[in-house]
Structure 1
Amino acid sequence: MKVFLVFALAVASVSAGLLPLDTPMHPRDIEAAPSINGRITNGKNAAENQFPYQVGLSFTGSSGSWWCGGSIIASSWVLTAAHCTKDSSSVKIYYGSTVRTSPKLTHTVSSSNFQQHANFDSATLNNDISLIKTPSVAFSASINRIALPAIASSYSTYSGQTAVASGWGRTSDTTTSVAKNLQYADLTVIANSVCQQSYGSKVVRSGVICVSSVNEVSTCKGDSGGPLALDSKLIGVTSFVSSKGCERNAPAGFTRVTSYLDWIKSNSGVSA
């Protein structure tokens, strides 16, 4: 597992007229130890088959192993974050799990099946999105796709609306326990201009969508790459949280799916 990513964005943000108050980091990098820890901080237990599009992703690479989430967008495609696929040689995909260790199905695929965004920038976190080509899976009540927003000339910012994030990310900033059940949290989307006050305009660009964190409810380690859904459509891919911790009530950042619909279609053929 990689060490903390600390981003020196202050100078660049001053030149852009915006001084960030915080620094972002990928949930995957919160701890140096390669382990699967807990759940979404202060989230709720998911019911059986509540999130059939959610998959667990156990990556292996030269630096060790790490856990991420992902979303089924077609019978043979999973969408996740580029910081999850980066430096990985293979991934084991867990389908249909509510109890994390009891998937209905697993597939292991090599990195040759990854379509990582060519312009992913681990310094600014931009273009944090990847596709994984998988063996075809049969859809059921526990394994199913989530729809993408339709390609259009303009899109909602979703600001003020409530979306749901899910995953097996860790339970708090101090816990080392493993969550048995899939977790979820209802989170309010905020304007990018508000999120920029925390992380600056170099990080929070048009391809990012942010949610507020209140009462210490947020995404955390193990949630990376997982879904943010609204009205049964995928609108975000878990990308970053505050380097100060998941329970600091700082905004959480996601890759904005509507900014990458053309990229997804051209690399996988999948659209709404």
Structure 2
Amino acid sequence: MFFYGALIMSLVFFSEGKICPKNEIEVINGNDAQKGQFPWQVELMLETTENDSIFCSGAFISNNWVLTSASCINKVKRMTVIYGTNDLGNNANTIKTKSHIVHEDFDNNTQQNDVGLVELESRVIFDETTKAICLSEDVIGDGVNVTIAGWGHSNNDNINITPILQYVNVSTIKNTECAEVFGRDIVTSTVLCTHDSSLAKGPCINDGGAPLIINADTDPKHVGIFSFIGENGCEKNFPAGYTRTASYLDWIKNKTGVGVPCK
């Protein structure tokens, strides 16, 4: 029915209740991000309890907490955070993690409550390339321009993550429209969807947990966490689904102390 956005070196997707292997893919029709353009963006390198290697994304919400998806960090035994760069191959900073939290009501079958947190082993130093993103308390409607970025694969056949951070501007759509594709059990009130009817563009598998941002160039705020896409892959131009940030502000603040207004 859908791909969960978490990433997975031996990729999987859901079809009629079954999990099947699939080649990995990425942010489609993206642009190269410049150094410091998305200073909150991080890459997570993960090893699961089943010894799978995983890559996904997240965002600094403070100098020692990263917000990502539950599907990304579920069943993870260790991880490293890469930060402060748009180029993974150019002396990127890395830091180990202290702990991680998966939402207690996360449902891997429907992707409900697909939100997670990663605590760093120490506080990072903020500068022009490393900053936290503010969390939005607004419930985003349809027809709103937003931005998604991530290090993913360039097409269905590529097996390597893209070293340069890619980003695209997309538009939100009505939940009722998105539910026609994925079903109402998946597209609930805590889910936000994006789609471009004229061109296949947006996030894909190895971008799981990536932040969806409103007003990225002027007053950036975190409005969603990339969660899932259509089962036929990103290049088939299905909508992309995100966990709404505003729906989980109390949960995030309870776990981390980080809340709104942004300080």
TM-score calculated relative to the size of structure 1: 0.85
State whether structure 2 residue 71 is matched by structure 1 residue 83: yes
How far apart are 1:40 and its partner, in Å?
Answer: 0.8
Is the 2:252–2:259 Cα contact (8 Å) retained in structure 1? yes
Structure-2 residue corresponding to 1:48: 35
**Matched-pair contact (CA < 8 Å) for 2:46–2:55:** yes
Distance in structure 2 (CA, Å) of the matches to 1:33 and 1:193: 28
Equivalent position SS for 1:270: coil
Structure 1 counterpart of 2:80, which letter? Answer: K
- Say whether the 8 Å CA contact 2:224–2:242 is kept in structure 1: yes
1:205 matched to 2:205? The reply is no
Aligned residue type for 1:169 = G
Q: Which moved more, 1:163-172 or 1:95-104?
A: 95-104
Q: Structure 2 regions of 5+ residues with no counterpart?
A: 13-22
Q: What percent identity do the matched residue pairs reach?
A: 31
Partner SS state of residue 28, structure 1: coil
Displacement of 1:37 in angstroms is: 6.0
Cα offset, 1:25, TM superposition: 1.8
1:95-174 aligned within 5 A: 95-110=83-98, 113-134=99-120, 135-150=122-137, 155-174=138-157
The answer to whether the aligner puts 1:223 opposite 2:207 as a matched pair is yes
CA offsets per residue over residues 169-208 of structure 1, 9 Å max, x none? Answer: 2212222243120000101001111100100100000111
More moved, 174-183 vs 244-253:
174-183
The answer to whether the 8 Å contact 2:25/2:156 transfers is no
For residue 132 of structure 1, what is the amino acid of its counterpart? V
2:179 to 196, 201, 204: 196
CA distance in 2, matches of 1:91, 1:30: 14
The corresponding residue for 1:241 is 229
| Letter of the structure 1 residue corresponding to residue 57 of structure 2 | G
Deviation at 1:52, TM superposition (A): 0.2
CA shift, 1:109, in A, is 1.8
State whether residues 192 and 241 of structure 2, in contact with CA within 8 Å, keep that contact through their aligned partners in structure 1. yes
- Corresponding residue number in structure 2 for 1:15: none
| SS of equivalent residue, structure 2 residue 61 | strand
Q: 1:39–1:141: structure 2 CA closer, same or farther, 3 Å change rule?
A: farther
Unaligned runs of 5+ in 1: 1-22
For this pair of structures, how many residues does the alignment match? 243
Alignment of 1:242-261 (within 5 A): 242-261=230-249
Work out the CA distance in 1 between the residues paired with 2:24 and 2:127.
28
Instruction: Please say if residues 53 and 143 of structure 1, whose CA atoms lie closer than 8 Å, have aligned partners that are also in contact.
Output: yes
Cα distance in 2 between the residues matched to 1:178 and 1:81: 19
Q: What letter matches 1:89 in structure 2?
A: K
The offset of 1:212, in angstroms, is: 0.5
2-structure distance, mates of 1:171, 1:42: 8
Q: Is the 8 A contact 1:42 1:172 kept in 2?
A: no
Which 4+ stretches in 1 moved above 3 angstroms?
Answer: 28-31, 36-39
Deviation at 1:28, TM superposition (A): 3.2
TM-score by length of 2: 0.87
Is the 2:5–2:71 contact (alpha carbons within 8 Å) kept by the matching residues of 1? no
C-alpha contact (below 8 Å) 1:218/1:247 kept by paired residues: no
C-alpha displacement of 1:38:
6.4
Whole-angstrom distance in 2 between the partners of 1:51 and 1:59: 22
